[in-house]
Structure 1
Amino acid sequence: MRTTIDTLAVVGAGSIGGSWVALGLAHGLRVSAADPSAAALGRLPQTVARNLVELGADETALDRLETYDDPAAAVAEADLVLEAGPERVEVKRELFAILDGATAPDVVLASSSSGLGPSAFQDACGHPERVLVAHPFNPPHLVPLVEVVGGRATSEEAIAATMTAMNGLGRRPVRVRAELPGHVVNRLQAALWREAYDLVRRGAISVADLDQAVASGPGLRWALLGPIATQHLSGGPGGLAHVLEHLGPPMVEWWADLGEPEFTAELRQQLVDGVDSEMGGREADVLGRRDGALRELLELKARAGLDDLGGER
């Protein structure tokens, strides 16, 4: 599989595709982008220009971007293909068959799917060994996480090439060694959301106070270290072994009491009303300030030497 990437092809010109395009351009690559929607392609340069500014890159990098309405034409010269199309398996099967027929067999074809495993669509390809998932985390041009997931037919060479390519784009790839609905990180989020929704449903806490509790408490530590490393450090000299010995049994009791809320119309409305009250119509302003803080946080982690913790050794 190719490990030297000069030309990146991005299939899908939505928000995820716009982030992938900006990352490629910011790292000096030639980028071709494809989308069947003329409107999506028309919006893409503005989206990419904004992302380039957030990455501290020169907007003249846009000169290296070419756009296509035909995915086969966009990927013909690519060294790596990143698909960011609709999250529907029938669409991905049709699209990956096209990508497979239009690229050299040593080019990795990676889907950005947030929940589908590659086995669901790689058998539509003549070279399924180079098909996998490289799932980014929103917004992908700022948040460095990428989950790399192989399917039943994916080769180790394709996995290794993708890990190398993601590192080259300044990402922090992690290998997910099992195909699971939602991969790993979305499953972790879903577990937290399930209990958060149930606590709100039960009237234990408001939406605004729940968000405040996470953001002002464990969320601060999780931004710097993962949950298990954080738990280890909270155990003092005894570390995780001490925590599990003394807090393990109570934690099992908490597990047994976690909620399993029904996803009713009433619960959905309760959550929507709560977050609307919390935001007060300031979504655009909060989003801009959040993304600015994300950039500063990443710089702080690098200065503190905390960005090299985690990942397999």
Structure 2
Amino acid sequence: MGTRSIKQVTVVGTGVIGNGWAARFLSQGYDVIATDPAPGAEERMRLSVQRAWPALEKMGLAAGASKDRLRFEPDLAKAVAVADLIQENAPEREELKRRLLAEIDRHAKPDAIIASSTSGLMPSTLQADCIRPERVIVAHPFNPVYLIPLVEVVGGEKTAPEVVAVAEQFYQSIQMKPLVVSAEIEGHVADRLMEAIWREALHIVNDGIATTEEVDAAIIYGPGLRWALMGPFLTLHLAGGEQGMRHMLEQFGPALKLPWTKLEAPELTEDLRNQVIAGCERQTAGHSIAGLEVRRDSFLIELQRLLEKYWPGANLNGNI
């Protein structure tokens, strides 16, 4: 099994993530079959791909890439039967995903790879009911999938190592940055980091320290600028001066014992919910979600080009 054997992909579930996958696969010159039992799913998917296409054209389409290579098949068994790789994107409910993946496993070709986009569930849990658990992995992307290159690839207890290797090569071939996570854990890597910041942000709003807009500004104009290039470890390595992280840990290591942060999330009371919702609506007043998505996509395209210019390791064709 090699990267070249993946010629036909099927997307199961056409929400925001599934539609993002479809757009990326299409932009890379693949034929895509999509399936979803929800009424109106095909129309919403085609509209989503249409909206994403201008950004993908800016990024650069692969030879033969076309929106016309998308086919919708309402019958799940038929949709997965011819696929070399199936990307599952059902709602984040363990029972639902396990049942769906087992059904996909029954109808898919024996050598097809089955990848779940789950953001939190572990592959060992998801593959438990499958006849061929060795070909089931997690391939967790980030929104918008058609532009953000990171995909966390995780194998379960029964996943064959060669399946992980082929998946890594495949995602690399469609201009993604696969991060192979060596040990499975709930939430994988990136979501656990984002969750820690999100919990602290909720405490700051809940305690009346800052508004949602002020919290966002604290990230956008501060650490977010550096994290886009270096991540938290290299950012702090440079903060340590000539001695780097060695000096940084000597100087600020003791502060880790101070109770600055609250890692447990606050109670999501009606008042906190209202504060967060009102704050976000105030921040985006006068702007449609569609308009904000266009601005976000243009920014992400320019930012990735800056990454390639200033940080060679961020070249989209390279390894993490």
TM-score range, shorter chain: over 0.9
The Cα shift of 1:55 comes to 0.8
Which of 303, 308, 312 in structure 2 is aligned with 1:302? Answer: 308
2:3 aligns with 3
- In structure 1, what is the equivalent of residue 68 of structure 2? 63
In 2, the alpha carbon distance for the partners of 1:98 and 1:47 equals 27
Q: Which amino acid aligns with 2:117?
A: S
Of 271, 287, 294 in structure 2, the residue corresponding to residue 288 of structure 1 is: 294
- For 2:134 and 2:39, the matched residues in 1 are separated by 32
Question: What TM-score results when the alignment is normalised by the length of structure 2?
Answer: 0.91
Give deviations 1:162-189, integer Å, cap 9, x for gaps.
1111101111111222332222211111
Q: Deviations over 1:173-232 (max 9, x none)?
A: 112223322222111111101111111222222221111111000001111121111111
Distance 1:198 1:224, change over 3 A: same
Q: Which residue does 1:201 correspond to in 2?
A: 206
Equivalent residue in structure 2 for 1:116, among 112, 118, 121: 121
Q: Which runs of 5+ in 1 are unaligned?
A: none
User: Helix, strand or coil for the counterpart of 1:32?
Assistant: strand
Q: 1:300 to 1:80 in 2, by over 3 A?
A: same
Other structure's SS at 2:154 match? strand
Amino acid at match of 2:260: D
CA contact (8 A) 2:27 2:65 kept: no
Partner SS, residue 55 of structure 1: helix
Task: Name whichever of 301-310 and 277-286 sits farther off.
Answer: 301-310
User: Which secondary structure state, in structure 2, belongs to the residue aligned with residue 109 of structure 1?
Assistant: strand
What is the rounded CA distance, in whole Å, between the counterparts of 2:288 and 2:208 in structure 1? Answer: 25
Would the aligned equivalents of 1:12 and 1:35 in 2 still touch at CA under 8 Å? yes
**Cα distance in 1 for residues equivalent to 2:178 and 2:134:** 19
Asked whether the 8 Å contact 2:205–2:211 carries over to 1, the reply is yes
Does structure 2 conserve the Cα–Cα contact (< 8 Å) formed by 1:222 and 1:230? yes
What is the percent sequence identity of the aligned residues? 43
Q: Tell me, yes or no, if structure 1 residue 174 matches structure 2 residue 179.
A: yes
Change (3 A) 1:177 1:39: same
Between the aligned partners of 1:241 and 1:167, the Cα distance in structure 2 is 34
CA distance in 2, matches of 1:126, 1:236: 55
Does 2:93 align with 1:88?
yes
| Cα-to-partner distance string for 1:12-59 (whole Å, 9 max, x where unaligned) | 122211111111111111111111124011221221122222111499
TM-score by length of 1: 0.93
Say yes or no: does 1:258 pair with 2:231.
Answer: no
2:28 is aligned with 1:27: yes
Shift of 1:135: 0.4
Indicate if the aligned counterparts of 1:2 and 1:106 stay in contact, CA closer than 8 A. Answer: no
- Give the partner amino acid of 1:258: T
Q: Secondary structure at the match of 1:189?
A: helix
Q: Which residue of 2 aligns with 1:164?
A: 169
2:53 equivalent to 1:47: no
